[in-house]
Homo-oligomer: A and B are copies of this chain.
Amino acid sequence: MEGQNQNLNLNRKIQYTRMVLSDGLIELMKAKPFEKITVKELCERANVNRSTFYTHYEDIYALLRSIEEETLAWERGEMETLLGKWEEGKRATIRSLERLFECFVENRKYLQVLMSEKGSISFQKKFFFVAYQMNDFPAAQSRAAPPFEKEMRFLFVVNGGVGIVQHWLKTGMKESPRAIAEILYDIALSVF
């Protein structure tokens, strides 16, 4: 036999290596600033040869980018299944935002680190861009204003969301995901 699971265990090996490197980087990011993390120490912690690291990633920034891309793909999937299950409009939007914020609490896909001040702002913007786009915010936006101003308002809300979540994470996530979802929804609507 060949075909479907021809390289299955081979792929598993590759996936395992990437996984321990990803996990290891996130763990190190919890402990120290990203720019102080070395490839060497990451490989030692992950029990991976340094040469192996370089066969998978160009450098440590490439590893972080790959983690970010995976997380965004996961987010899109999560939103898709969620949006199929719920009524439309305000309730669905708040519920899907709430779901994302619940994942922060559960620390899925390293979200707590990626969205904190240790994470890259480019990822964080993309995260909210996806969240808004897959909800009804573009619709809410369609009523008013010239295109340039519309774009400005959308950017404003994307960046504003980042600020709120970062503060929520930094202060220990004392408020419920639901509360954050609602306040974010309210503020965003007031901008449009």
Contact = CB atoms under 8 A, between A and B. Distances in A.
B187 A156 contact: yes
A149 B180 CA distance: 10
Contacts of A35: 35, 61
A107 B78 CA distance: 43
Contacts of A148: 175
A159 B124 CA distance: 12
For A61, A121, A155, A159, the residue with the greatest tally of chain B CB atoms inside 10 Å of its CB is A159
A163 B158 contact: yes
A155 B180 CA distance: 13
B183 A155 contact: no
Contacts of A158: 163
Contact of A151 (B61, B153, B161, B167): B167
Give the bracket for the number of chain A residues in contact with chain B.
20 to 34
Contacts of A117: 121-122
A156 B167 CA distance: 10
A154 to B, nearest CB: 9
Contact of A152 (B152, B162, B183): B183
Contacts of A155: 160, 163-164, 166-167
A190 interface: yes
A157 interface: yes
A191 interface: yes
Nearest to A35: B61
Q: Which 10 A-B pairs have the closest CB atoms?
A: A159-B163, A156-B160, A155-B163, A160-B160, A159-B159, A121-B121, A159-B160, A155-B167, A152-B164, A156-B187
Interface of A: 35, 61, 117, 121-122, 125, 148-149, 151-153, 155-164, 166-167, 175, 183, 187, 190-191
